[in-house]
Amino acid sequence: MIVGMETVSELSRRISELGFMAVASAAYLICSAGILFFFIKWFVRIIDNIIERQQRVLDEILQLQREMKSMMERIAGDVFVRSSSTHLVDIC
């Protein structure tokens, strides 16, 4: 009878250890998944901020380029008008 009781207590101890291992493993997996999720979200946010800053810089460069083009067209127009009037004076 004592041998049977030791077997039952050994079996219950193993079931208890297995249950604890299952709960601990589940908690570990949940924590790991949560940390991984937040790390990826944080990394994506950093990349998005970098892209947004680059986009603003490129927009500013494009605006400056448009202003420079407009300025160059005005200068070219003035030079053309002056050179045309100079040639007319030279011819007359």
What would the pLDDT profile of 11-57 be if each residue is shown by its tens digit? 888 888 888 999 999 999 999 999 999 999 999 999 999 999 999 99
**Residue 67 DSSP one-character state:** H
Rounded to the nearest 5°, which phi and psi values hold at 17?
-65, -40
**Higher local confidence (pLDDT), 86 or 51:** 51
Higher-confidence residue: 92 or 46? 46
Q: Where are the alpha helices (DSSP H) in the chain?
A: 2-91
Predicted confidence at residue 1, as pLDDT, reads: 45
Give residue 16's pLDDT. Answer: 86
The C-alpha atoms of residue 28 and residue 36 are separated, in whole angstroms, by 12
- 20 versus 84: the higher-pLDDT residue is 20
